[in-house]
Structure 1
Amino acid sequence: MPQLPPPQPFDQDDIYRTLLESTQAIPWKIDWASQRYVYVGPQIEALLGWRTDDWGTVQDWIDRIHPDERDQVVRRCVELSQAGVDHEADYRALTADQRYVWVRETVHVLRNAQGGTEALVGFIFDIHERKQTEQRLLALQRELQALSYQDSLTRVANRRRFDEALEQAWAQAQATQTPLSLLVLDIDFFKQLNDCYGHQTGDQALVQVAQALAQVCDKCNDLVARYGGEEFVVLLPKVGLDIARQVAERFRRLLQEQAIPHARSPFGQQVTVSIGAGSLVPQPGQDCAGFVHAVDQLLYAAKNAGRNRVVAQAVLL
């Protein structure tokens, strides 16, 4: 039986290098004292396009982090490395052809005999596809949330959004003792509008009224919402009664200028609204539901007084 040749000695470092360079993760090592790369796996070129000799110092790494993440990532990594704590970071890395891809970097801190940081070793992982999927899901979630707060017909906020915004504005006004105003308005003779023209034209009138209201109430803190049916509300944080009255009258004038046809309206055969405008500084023990009810009563006062008008009043609860 022929003799097999004796096993050849092997270089352990070569085996480790082969294992490292056969993985999809990109290995690297940095000398802490000189802040220079001692080793970068050749896989880096497939992911980022940079050659291994393009990584000379830590500054090369810093310069290739997206500006939006750079300061935070660098500060955190330096602090944890100095403290001898292993860590990881997600960020967008610049490619050689000037694109950005998402990567995750895991870092292990090597210490010397005195316990100080001697070197950093780690891996770079490609997480670009996963990050893009996460961002798409997040964008979809935000879109669905926005739709859940929007009236499907008029595209202004719905009753649910108004209820939440009112609670937040009420709590803030109560804490800071600043005024809070509310407009509650209703389209005059809306049933007759539907009877005359049909529900499709009635829906279009609701859309036009909502758009005009949003045009007048264009401040970032104002909220226009469809409260139900032909009724709308406008929430005006940090606004007193005089300004609330001005906003209401400005909207009535704009609606008059637009002259939306309404053959059965006694007011120039066009769409008009009645508006209740109320304001207060919320006090302890008071609640926002009582405030809405009080302003709703001002709306009914406007209707009972003949419609197509604003009734504005400081609210006492």
Structure 2
Amino acid sequence: MEQAAKELFETVEEYFQTREFKQFFHFVDAAIYLAQQIADVAKEIHLLLNKAVAYYQLGDSEVAVKTIRKLQPFERHMTASQRIRYLNTVAAIYHTLDDTAHYYEYLMQAYALATDMNEEIALLFLEGNLGHYYYEMKEYAKSFMHMERCLMYCERLNFEAHEPYIIGRVQYINTSLELGKMAIAEAQFERLEQFPHILTNHHYVLAKGHYYCICGDKQRAYELLAQVIRHDGQHETILSTLYERFLHVAEEVETLEQYVETLETYYHYLGRLKEAQAKKQIDQMKIYLNTELLEEMLWHDPLTKVKNRRYLDEKMPIWLDEQHSFVGLLLFDADHFKQINDCFGHRVGDEVICLMAERARQFFSSESAVVIRYGGDEFVVFYSVKQLEGIEVMLAQFHAHMQQCAFTVKGEVHHVSISIGATVVRANVPIEVLLEEADRALYQSKQQGRNRYTQFQQHA
């Protein structure tokens, strides 16, 4: 199991790092479940963080928030690096939601912790984020200071060829321009212009256009912005801020007739942008809400991955109609399950529930049986009966199989006692009858001392 877990974790990590989100979302929940099974809390935290970041990078902040909330119970288990990343991710999400107060609060918590731990890669991004925050708040001196530090870390960590370096240096230029430090801005432009394709980088173009406007050369700003817009005119990825900046410049440079034409082009762009955003939302839903995942969410219990109560209510009557002779039903639960929760905690309780589900699933063939979580620690198993004579032997074997459920706490192994109620009926008997009979049989098992199976009297 450890080797399989390692391979799955590596696969999910690779998909995350390469931004292959369709494949990432296909495997990540299975990886999280496996991390829970082997009690690897650090890995579970890491995977949940990756999942939240993936939602954030896809622009789905609301789902990212829901995923982040799942991490709150784990805060005391996080390493310093994980907590820094957690706080920075929360800050980024609040920023997209325009919640400036919470954005700054979490950003400063992450910054303080990263400074204490001297986490230089984290500090690189946090200095840049703080520089951007102070720029938006028009506190340009503070922005300038943080952007200088950001670039210092970029150079120290050899990040010059990475996108954060380019964005950081552009932010440094913008702050320099607001402070009137023209010589610094010009020197930074020269450094950036050594990079290939920089002349079509939207961040660079916006900064260069702003520089030309400050210098009073709006014609050059207009030509630069117009060139980039024409270059990307057939694509819906043009940043709205780029087009809006162009409109401000065009209003002063173009004739009235030209400006009216530019406005018409802009309105067409807005229409295309709206269509592109709608398509993007649909594409994102396809990425992490594909048909298989929808089915998984609708019919499966998220903890144990076996079928859920909704499946029992909506699908099992159809399954019963498809049977031709006899069907059996087992209803079982853990004895004194409340004591397990009270003594060892709900996390161990969840582990026991998952063990029970897995043992039951191992015993029965998926083609002839359906395992369902009925509620809490209670499960039902519907199965096709081929020979009535073998029922008693099967029940004894199943009970023996389930008795092997065990969990370990602080090096001590604890076995789980299981009580079972069973019934066998003709296929045309209503599902409510099966459940009632199995429930009565389970009650008898409890009354007779637990840790046993009881078979209800069969219908003729």
TM (norm. structure 2) is: 0.35
TM (norm. structure 1) is: 0.49
Higher strand share: 1
Higher helix share: 2
Higher relative contact order (CA 8 A, sep 6+): 1
